[in-house]
Structure 1
């Protein structure tokens, strides 16, 4: 995702990748087969991991077809395999769109097998044995195998969602950008279906991001090494640690609390996360030390209320009820930020789908503002939900 390239590069270096290079919405690296398995299981901010198998110069659609026909496709698949093609094109040499390039590439691979074996493999766009990616930049074509299969944001734990839920990869990226590692308390005061909480808890406990996934693309490859895969998975699981700080979520909607609890249970994190039926604007933090607050407040189409008053209430609640906290939230409404009434210490450009957003930080200091006379309700970190007015 745009804005998470350096975060992903850091993840890769920490895992042990070699020759890490940052691009625009991509990071390249070197690693062996085992590291490819490891990266798919452990990386939090990668959407998919592509394994390049061929690079060549290409100048038009016919040239692409010809050079794809010259590849030895038996190395990657058999005539009985199913396959799918994805393509991205950014070149003045090609006047057609990416969909047409996908079709042209599909024809070349099918014709390769038909000419050689008098039979062609079938296309399966939903669950192929081999997913092939064709990327053309200017006159350079890179043909890759998609080792991930489905996008890596599909962790496997989220079965219940609210309107416009935050992408799991983006949620993990925001947590990592905030610097949170599990060394202090963590609150998501508008937690929705719990995605940010779950990603934060996995980071705090060093749980591999995709440990709950049922399948990766490479498991259907001809050279899949099941013993190596399980060995790497076992090594990663041994590195899990226990976070002893509080991780809590609030939401005013009972339906959101239920969805969050369902997803937290699916992720096997019930013992680490407490969610509470509480309206953030009627809440305050207990005096339990430094806390990271990170949330995804409604914005854009999700916000059908007075924007000025909503963001002013965020600022007032933080000033009155959350001293000694580092606060982060993401928004696409840059005008609304002016109404928070606090000075940002960081503003990081980032994308949420097609929305240009800012991930902003506020540093709240104890004693900087007296609490209001009507003290709001304090929250305890229990496994049961607590009730307050919504």
Structure 2
């Protein structure tokens, strides 16, 4: 059997070329592709952590602005109440059966406050000496059952500064529902009451509507995203306003929270992140986002890194194929000469071919050395880049 027949020569040629290609591919994978892939993995991990920290930082800033907006709106109404009580009409008011000028002026001023501030549900003028309450909406109540006097039990009667009561229902007596359902539904709102005592012996009560406050914050800060939630909880975990669709209210209060900047805390529950910030009526403003939002930027970065790795693989295949074809050319010529019957050519010709192979392998060694040197420099540059990133962070 002729080992150098046309068929055997072609098979040997293909087998030898595949060996060259395999060795070159293996060299490129070990020297270039694997180190760059490992570096890309660590880079992706570092950038994903930075994206996650940026997400938490931004959401804590957003919630802090929301809580500050709530507190600022309440403070502005506090100042308005403190200014209003200085009106002389209140201190000179005396009750009589006649609808006198002072009472008419007081009713107008109470109504003017509700028109000035959308958040105000109602304003009371309560005369302690007579036990009469005048309301900004209806004047004096038509029914004695609707006198809202429960707030008197929750205040300090000897303090002449503004007292802020926890959120409460104006009318908590459900037995009134059947008797005056039309009025009960209209008046029974959840409010935050600001009470200020005046001289000689009267009280000015400003009731801030929690629902109106919530709606204004939602509109002002554009919190209508379907994936985002915003609601208000009290300290006991009871929902005051808003809607929590993904977690029980009390469950959020019981879970241990982690601290962020500006007094913002967060917890992870039911694959969502809940950010909480206290507001000045002993409650929490809460925002929640899907947990996937925290690493969304890292996902985009990971896609770019994956594309880079795929590009490196294709580039490595093309370069390896070109190198194998170029380096295998002298051996191919030698096999071709032998197959054509020139294998008994002079020894000098064979020696020339062997020298050519030596030169080729010498060039391969030089290429591998250069590749190792470049890889070492690349590793030094990557370490310097990581150290610089560490200092900047």
Q: TM-score range by the shorter chain?
A: under 0.3
TM-score, normalised by the number of residues in structure 1? 0.25
Structure of greater relative contact order (alpha carbons < 8 Å, 6+ residues apart): 2
Query: 1 or 2, which has the higher helix percentage?
Result: 2
Query: 1 or 2, which has the higher strand percentage?
Result: 1
TM-score, normalised by the number of residues in structure 2? 0.25
Larger radius of gyration: 2
